[in-house]
Chains A and B, each alone.
Chain A
Amino acid sequence: MFKKPKRKLYALIFVLPTFAAFVIGFIYPFIRGIYLSFFQFQIVSKTKFVGINNYLKAFQDDSFLRSFWFTLGFVVVSLVLINLIAFFVAYGLTIGIRGSNVFRTVFFMPNLVGGIILGYIWHQIFDGILRNLDMPSLVTNSDMGFWGLVILMCWQQAGYMMIIYIAGFQNVPSDLYEAAKIDGATKGQLLTKVTLPMMMPSITICSFLTLTNSFKLFDQNLALTGGAPLKDGIWTTRMMALNIYKTFYGEGRSAKGVGQAEGVIFFIIVVAISLLQLFLTRRKEVQA
Chain B
Amino acid sequence: MAKVTAKEPKKVKKQTVGMKILTVIFTIVSVFYVMPIVIVLYNSFKTNEDISRNLFAFPTAESFNGFANFVKGMTFGNYPFWEAAIWSLFITLGGVFLILLCTSMCAWYIQRSNTIICKIIYYFCIFSMVVPFQMVMFTLSDTANKLKLITPWGILLIYLGFGAGLSVFMFSGFVKSIPIEIEEAADVDGAGPLKTYFGVVLPIMKPTVISVAILETMWIWNDYLLPYLILDGEYRTIPIHMQFLNGSYGQTDNGAIMALVVLSIIPIVAFYFACQKYIIEGVVSGAVKG
Contacts and interface: CB of A to CB of B under 8 A. Distances in A.
Interface of A: 1-2, 7, 10-11, 13-15, 17-19, 21-30, 32-33, 36, 44, 92-117, 120-122, 124-125, 127-128, 131-132, 155, 160, 163-164, 166-167, 169-170, 172, 174, 177-178, 187, 190-191, 195, 205-206, 209, 212, 215-216, 218-219, 222-223, 226, 240-241, 244-245, 248, 256, 259-260, 262-264, 266-267, 270-271, 274
Interface of B: 2-9, 11-13, 15, 19-20, 22-23, 26-27, 30, 33-34, 36-37, 39-40, 43, 52, 54-56, 102-103, 105-106, 108-110, 112-113, 118, 121, 124-125, 128, 130-140, 142-143, 147, 149, 157-162, 164-165, 168, 180, 183-184, 187, 193-194, 196-197, 218, 221-225, 238-239, 242-243, 246-247, 254, 257-258, 261, 264-265, 268-269, 271-272, 276, 279-280, 283-284, 287-288, 290
A2 B134 contact: no
B221 A29 contact: no
Given A18-B106, A99-B27, A190-B4, A25 B22 contact: no
Given A97-B15, A124-B39, A266-B134, 20 more contacts: A11-B109, A17-B106, A22-B121, A22-B124, A25-B157, A93-B9, A95-B2, A98-B19, A102-B30, A116-B222, A128-B55, A163-B280, A174-B6, A177-B5, A205-B288, A223-B243, A263-B134, A264-B135, A266-B135, A270-B130
Nearest to A256: B138
A17 to B, nearest CB: 4
19 contacts: A11-B109, A11-B113, A14-B109, A14-B197, A21-B102, A21-B157, A21-B158, A25-B140, A26-B162, A26-B164, A92-B26, A95-B7, A97-B2, A97-B15, A97-B26, A116-B239, A226-B247, A245-B225, A263-B134
Given A15-B121, A107-B30, A94 B7 contact: yes
A-B complex: 4 closest residue pairs judged by Cβ atoms: A25-B161, A174-B6, A128-B55, A114-B222
Given A105-B276, A163-B280, A28 B33 contact: no
A112 B271 contact: yes
A18 B13 CA distance: 49
Main secondary structure of the interface of B (DSSP, over half): helix
A103 B26 contact: yes
A218 to B, nearest CB: 6
Nearest to B9: A94
A246 to B, nearest CB: 11
A244 B56 contact: no
Contacts of A10: 109, 193-194
Contact of A24 (B131, B161, B272): B161
A66 B171 CA distance: 40
A18 B103 contact: yes
B6 A177 contact: yes
B196 A112 contact: no
B4 A274 contact: no
B57 to A, nearest CB: 10
A5 to B, nearest CB: 12
Contact of B272 (A23, A107, A112): A112
B246 A99 contact: no
B182 to A, nearest CB: 11
B37 A121 contact: yes
A38 to B, nearest CB: 13
A98 B16 CA distance: 11
Contacts of A96: 5, 7-9, 11-13, 19
B19 A97 contact: yes
Contacts of A32: 139, 143
B130 A271 contact: yes
Contacts of A244: 134, 137
Given A26-B161, A30-B136, A98 B34 contact: no
A95 B9 CA distance: 7
Contacts of B159: 25
Contact of B3 (A18, A112, A163, A187): A187
Nearest to B264: A117
A111 B280 CA distance: 11
Contacts of A248: 137-138
A14 B23 contact: no
B239 A1 contact: no
A102 B26 CA distance: 10
B173 to A, nearest CB: 14
